[in-house]
Amino acid sequence: MAIEETADAVATTDATDTATDTVETTAGAITYPVAPGYQLNVRSGPGTNYRLVKVLPYNSRVPIRCQRHGQKVSGPYGTSDIWDNIAPGQYVSDAYVRTGSDGFVTAPCG
């Protein structure tokens, strides 16, 4: 029984360490990686019907200032209606950002 408990503890620690590796702190801001192999569209609001602001290059990382519900989008990390605000007037679909969660990882946008 003690061996199983130890194995569970190690598995939990390994899973936590992996999730922690995906988040970086740069100049006080936590950033999250965009899915590998994707250039990500940045929109002026939480949906694909909003104006395209810019396109992030491959291997980008984004800060998430706040999150809100919007259009449902399918991507490499599932289907989600959560949109991440990465800068004033700039949103990306959470389905393309590895946050390690299916829910909000920060405060809702006001």
Average pLDDT, rounded, for the chain: 83
pTM of the predicted protein model: 0.77
Pairwise CA distance, residues 51 & 66, whole Å: 19
Of 8-17, 19-28, 64-73, the one with minimum mean pLDDT is 8-17
The pLDDT-based confidence of 110 (bands split at 50, 70, 90) is: confident
C-beta neighbour count of 42 within 10 angstroms: 21
Pairwise CA distance, residues 12 & 6, whole Å: 10
**Burial of 23 (C-beta count, 10 Å sphere; 0-12/13-18/19+):** middle
